[in-house]
């Protein structure tokens, strides 16, 4: 069995598109996923599955969620190995958990996509981009940051998690 985390985009934000985590766990367990665990209310689901195809797994999860919830929920997947690499490649070691966030994309950013944004305008906020993640150092925290809004205009949708959540999800995947 493979262990993955599904990062659900756009649920339980500002009282909209509410999805209780207990109902989400039951829904995925009923759909055949095993060892389903959720972490906080922002749509983080760790589970085991036999699939070796990330695209098929993502499509299945999105279909299960849309059928049950009545609205589409974009899903970003990472295997345990992929999430461990995200943690190992942290370009901001020692930065406080609340000041470090990761934007997760389902696909690689198109070449040149980030060049449309003049990141220097957002100093002291900085970023380091990888193929399917962007690490954000936000010294004043996410609530006051301007850079994430600019990144929201990128061609690919993303979902953000703070560093504490990233580390906790990796820990939950260690079974």
For 108, 137, 138, 172, the CA distances from 141, given in Å and listed in that order, are: 26, 8, 5, 25
Q: Are 43 and 137 spatial neighbours (Cβ–Cβ below 8 Å)?
A: no
175 pLDDT more than 80: no
Provide the 3-class DSSP secondary structure of residue 69: helix
- Please give the average per-residue pLDDT across 94-105, as a whole number: 96
Identify each DSSP E strand in the chain by its residue range: 2-8, 34-39, 44-49, 75-79, 100-105, 126-129, 133-137, 158-162
Give me the chain's average pLDDT, please: 93
Residue pLDDT, tens place only, 102-146: 999 999 988 888 998 999 999 999 999 999 999 999 999 999 999
Fold of 2-81: Alpha-Beta Plaits (3.30.70)
Q: What secondary structure letter does DSSP report for 71?
A: S
Length of the chain: 175
Domain ranges (residues) in the chain: 2-81, 88-163
165 confidence band (pLDDT: 50, 70, 90):
very high
pLDDT in tens, 31-50: 999 999 999 988 899 999 99
């Amino acid at each position: 069995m493979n262990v993955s985390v599904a990062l659900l985009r756009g649920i339980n934000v500002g009282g909209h598109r509410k999805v209780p985590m207990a109902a989400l766990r039951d829904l995925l367990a009923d759909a055949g996923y095993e060892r389903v665990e959720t972490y906080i209310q922002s749509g983080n689901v760790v589970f085991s599955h036999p699939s070796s195809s990330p695209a098929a797994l993502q499509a299945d999860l999105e279909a299960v969620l849309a059928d049950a919830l009545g609205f589409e929920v974009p899903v970003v997947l990472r295997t345990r190995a992929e999430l461990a690499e995200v943690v190992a490649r942290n370009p901001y070691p020692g930065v406080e958990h609340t000041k470090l966030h990761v934007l997760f994309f389902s696909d690689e950013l198109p070449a040149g996509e980030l060049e449309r944004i003049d990141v220097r305008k957002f100093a002291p906020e900085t970023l380091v981009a990888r193929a399917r993640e962007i690490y954000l150092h936000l010294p004043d925290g996410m609530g006051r940051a301007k850079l994430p809004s600019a990144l929201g205009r990128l061609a690919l949708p993303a979902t953000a998690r703070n560093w504490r959540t990233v580390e906790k999800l990796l820990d939950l995947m260690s079974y």
